[in-house]
């Protein structure tokens, strides 16, 4: 979704629950280590106006799968993650030489105009949790280099095993 800044309450916390569709998520993740999105990403947002911008607390849940890089088995997993961001208008972005002066505990994200692309933020948050090296298990034994047998299922009888 795209959030209009005007939708955020001036005084109270604004709560938003939403989803990113599978199509949008797949398009975003497929270029990253072959991750597949199995169901819509769900998210809960809390937004509060601050002097400098808008504080965003997000919790995101995604169900993804990817092939183990050693044995090629498809592995499904759930990502549950939280993030805290400060959303600040691009107009207030520091010039490059001032970079780093806006010291704040929150990560700062700049938005253009008066609309925030919530889907992009949510997808980015999940992406940060993903490992580019997918293994079904740290102990995964992979495939036999000679016959391709999945060694997690037992030995194959090739020399060396």
CB 48, CB 96: distance < 8 Å: no
* d(C-alpha 155, C-alpha 23), whole Å: 40
122, two tokens: 């949510």
Contact range with Zn ion by CB under 5 A, out of 3-11, 52-60, 69-77, 85-93 = 69-77
User: Does 47 sit near Zn ion (CB under 5 A)?
Assistant: no
70 binds Zn ion (CB under 5 A): yes
- Interface with Zn ion (CB under 5 A), residue from 5, 93, 120, 140: 140
Q: Identify the residue among 27, 115, 153, 158 touching Zn ion (CB under 5 A).
A: 158
Give whichever of 79 and 140 is closer to Zn ion, judged by the CB atom: 140
Closer to Zn ion by CB, 71 or 130: give it.
Answer: 71
Whole-angstrom CA distances from 74 to 81, 84, 128, 131 are 22, 32, 21, 15
Question: Judged by CB, which is closer to Zn ion: 127, or 156?
Answer: 156
By CB under 5 A, name the binding residues for Zn ion: 68, 70-71, 136, 140, 144, 146-147, 149, 156, 158
């Amino acid at each position: 979704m795209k959030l209009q800044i005007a939708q955020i309450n001036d005084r109270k916390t604004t709560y938003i629950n939403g989803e990113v569709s599978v199509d949008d998520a797949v398009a975003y993740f497929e270029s990253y280590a072959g991750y597949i999105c199995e169901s819509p990403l769900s998210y809960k947002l809390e937004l509060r106006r601050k002097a400098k911008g808008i504080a965003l607390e997000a919790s995101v849940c995604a169900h993804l799968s990817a092939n183990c890089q050693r044995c090629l088995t498809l592995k499904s997993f759930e990502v549950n993650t939280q993030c805290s961001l400060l959303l600040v208008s691009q107009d207030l972005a520091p010039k490059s030489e001032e970079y780093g002066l806006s010291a704040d505990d929150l990560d700062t994200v700049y938005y253009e105009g008066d609309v925030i692309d919530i889907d992009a933020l949510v997808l980015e948050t999940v992406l940060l949790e993903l490992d580019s090296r997918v293994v079904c298990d740290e102990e995964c034994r992979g495939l036999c280099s000679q016959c391709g047998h999945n060694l997690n299922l037992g030995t194959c009888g090739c020399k060396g095993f």
